[in-house]
Amino acid sequence: MHRKTHPAEGIVDKLRSLDGLVSPDARFAETIRSIAVTGITSYCWRSEYGGLKSDQVKRLKSPETENERLRRAISDLTLEKLMLKEAASGNSELGSPPAVCR
């Protein structure tokens, strides 16, 4: 099944519109369907983005993307370091000199 990802600002907007649509005579399931999500999704969104505003969500998500970028950079550098260390020690098959028969 195809999963649709929503931007954080869009989630906050949908939650705000959901708050405006809920009335005493309307059923909650019908109002959730009006914003095209499931009940479980709306529950998860409320637990994560419940009282936040759009600008707060941007500040919340920016460190996460920066951390992900830094993790990738560190893993790349660590891999390069290990490859150079292996090549310098002579343990790699490509970097070792051919064996001489006596």
| Interval 11-66: pLDDT, tens | 888 888 887 776 666 677 788 888 888 888 888 888 888 777 777 777 777 788 88
More confident residue, 70 or 62: 70
Give the C-alpha separation, 37 to 101, whole Å: 72
Q: Is residue 35 part of a domain?
A: yes
Q: Which domain holds residue 17?
A: 8-89
Number of domains the chain contains? 1
User: What pLDDT does 95 receive?
Assistant: 52
**Range ranked top by mean pLDDT from 6-10, 52-56, 67-71:** 67-71
Q: Is residue 96 part of a domain?
A: no
Q: Is residue 102 part of a domain?
A: no
Residue among 66, 3, 74 at smallest CA distance from 37:
3
Tokens of 11: 């989630």
More confident residue, 31 or 82: 82
Q: Is residue 20 part of a domain?
A: yes
CB neighbours (10 Å) of residue 78? 10
Give the C-alpha separation, 14 to 22, whole Å: 12
**CB-based contact 22:29 (threshold 8 Å):** no
Q: Is residue 101 part of a domain?
A: no
